[in-house]
Structure 1
């Protein structure tokens, strides 16, 4: 019998599938603080590919809003490299910044905070 996904699991299903197909994929949490996006930049703060959806689901369950983006380098547009998780605590999403030069957004989705 097929397992029924929760709404959060359904929202994150593309990330779960992507991590299975691309084990070298990494994630980065970017938090809305003080009116600006603050990235966790150091290598120790990066999220392993297989943990991205699990990490995000926990924060969604705690009431955070989430906008995720899958990024690829312009030179290899079909090879995902990085998942950016933009997180905030209430209401509609603050404006998400565009990808940096040399990167393109392959896929994205957003779920508003309660």
Structure 2
């Protein structure tokens, strides 16, 4: 018998897969709100912390936008944006590019 996965688990599955594949990748956490977005990350998560950290916030009703950010041939980091009120995060700026992404809105 297989366990049915929740919508949050389904949303986080690609993110967890990236973290397993790129074990040295960091998750840079950005916070947004009614006054806009912080320009610098509030913290950097190790690959194995990323999905667990995000799951708790999604359960608590936060929005999330994640992006696998790359430059050149290799991924550089995962941009993890969380907010409850206000606008979604701005697009990733050049010279960075987004190789994969997802957005959760409760």
TM-score band, normalised by the shorter chain?
0.7 to 0.9
| Alignment gaps of 5+ in structure 2 | none
Structure 1: gaps (5+ residues) = none
Deviation at 1:34, TM superposition (A): 4.1
Q: Give the SS at the match of 2:58.
A: helix
Is the contact made by 2:32 and 2:89 (CA closer than 8 Å) also made in structure 1? Answer: no
Normalised by the length of structure 1, the TM-score is: 0.82
TM-score, normalised relative to structure 2: 0.87
Q: Which runs of 4+ in 1 moved over 6 A?
A: none
1:82 is matched with which residue?
77
Size of the aligned set, in residue pairs, is: 106
CA displacement at 1:5 relative to structure 2: 1.4
Note the alpha carbon deviations across 1:55-98, whole angstroms, 9 max, x for none. Answer: 1000001111111111111x21xx222111111114xx714212
